[in-house]
């Protein structure tokens, strides 16, 4: 019988290369890991569309990664799977050492709220709610008591430079300010990863650069960031760029190597 340390090393070495490892954990440094990830849509009349075709991917803790690809490449589908907004047709997906590819909808919702901070192109803020209440929402879903919610939401808004706009509603804010509120909402639960989908798509160039500078700072503070974009200049902020084409990884480039 192998010694405990050797047994652990063997499991780590095998985890992403041998089928049937569903109950094992990925290496500690791996925040995201996918193995042979497929997403197939049934279009009827025996016609199927393979949006993802066997994606194998590892993203380590505190990486800053951009996912790029043309329209129809599968990058949005991959984002939905990474964000636990959908389940794969085949393959396995680990997030923060937990196998999430086989969870049901309720379990996925719990993982989304706990582990993932979303930042969207369209901000997705409640129009009639203040900045503070918008940022509190994930904490409400998590069952955090009212006083603690307010304290954490205020701290998150202050961290993105919106401490003096807590009582403002979205229509009283500029586009850049709305996105800062959205970033604060993404941060408030201390998620495992920040998943940003075209976060500067509705912003002018200068404001977009300010938001990307904020992401730079968040990464420097230890956050793991996955950025989905079709803009090369935005992807250049990341330290690694993964190119998706026809549902597969076309290339995977680490800057400076």
Quick: pLDDT tens for 174-222.
999 999 999 999 999 999 999 999 999 999 999 999 999 999 999 999 9
Q: Report the distance separating Cα 62 and Cα 216, nearest Å.
A: 12
Does 17 have pLDDT greater than 50?
Answer: no
- Residue, of 24 and 82, whose pLDDT is higher: 82
Mean pLDDT (whole number) for 136-148? 95
Q: What pLDDT was estimated at residue 92?
A: 95
Q: What is residue 10's predicted lDDT score, i.e. its pLDDT?
A: 39
Gap between the Cα atoms of 103 and 105, Å rounded? 7
Contact 122, 199 (CB under 8 A): no
Per-residue pLDDT at 6: 44
Nearest alpha-carbon partner for 226 in 90, 26, 81, 87: 81
Please give the share of the chain, as a percent, with pLDDT higher than 90: 81
Strand 47-60, strand 98-99: pairing:
unpaired
User: Could you tell me the pTM of the whole model?
Assistant: 0.85
Is the pLDDT assigned to residue 102 strictly greater than 70?
yes
Do 190 and 143 meet the contact criterion of CB atoms below 8 Å apart? no
CA 50 to CA 38: how far, in whole Å? 7
| Top-ranked range on mean pLDDT: pick from 67-71, 178-182, 229-233 | 178-182
Domain spanning 60-87+104-254 has what CATH number?
A: 3.40.50.300
pLDDT at position 85, please? Answer: 93
The band of 24, judged by pLDDT with boundaries at 50, 70 and 90, is low
CA 238 to CA 227: how far, in whole Å? Answer: 8
Q: Residue 18 contacts by C-beta under 8 Å, 6 or more apart in sequence?
A: none
Name the helix (H) or strand (E) containing 149.
helix 146-159
Token pair listed for 229:
């974009």
CA 180 from centroid of its chain's CA atoms: 17
Mean pLDDT of the chain: 89
Instruction: Give all strands (DSSP E) within the chain, no chain letters.
Output: 30-44, 47-60, 64-68, 90-95, 98-99, 116-120, 193-197, 224-228, 240-245, 248-254
């Amino acid at each position: 019988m192998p010694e405990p340390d050797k047994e652990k090393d063997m499991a780590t070495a095998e985890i992403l290369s041998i089928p049937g490892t569903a109950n094992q954990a990925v290496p500690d440094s791996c925040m995201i890991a996918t193995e042979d990830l497929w997403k197939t849509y049934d279009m009827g009349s025996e016609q199927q569309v393979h949006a993802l075709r066997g994606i194998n991917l590892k993203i380590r803790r505190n990486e800053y990664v951009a996912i790029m690809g043309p329209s129809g490449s599968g990058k949005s589908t991959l984002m939905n799977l990474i964000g636990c907004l959908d389940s794969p047709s085949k393959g396995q997906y680990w997030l923060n050492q937990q196998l999430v590819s086989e969870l049901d909808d309720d379990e996925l919702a719990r993982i989304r709220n706990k582990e993932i901070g979303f930042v969207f192109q369209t901000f997705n803020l409640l129009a009639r709610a203040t900045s503070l209440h918008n940022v509190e929402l994930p904490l409400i879903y998590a069952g955090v008591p009212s006083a603690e919610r307010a304290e954490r939401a205020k701290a998150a808004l202050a961290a993105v430079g919106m401490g003096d706009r807590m009582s403002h509603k979205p229509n009283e804010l500029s586009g850049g300010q709305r996105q800062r509120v959205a970033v604060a909402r993404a941060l408030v639960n201390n998620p495992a990863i920040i998943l940003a989908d075209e976060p500067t798509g509705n912003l002018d160039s200068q404001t977009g650069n300010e938001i990307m500078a904020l992401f730079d700072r968040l990464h420097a503070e230890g956050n793991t960031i996955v950025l989905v974009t079709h803009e090369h200049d935005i992807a250049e902020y990341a330290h690694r760029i993964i190119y998706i084409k026809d549902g597969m990884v076309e290339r995977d480039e680490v800057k400076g190597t």
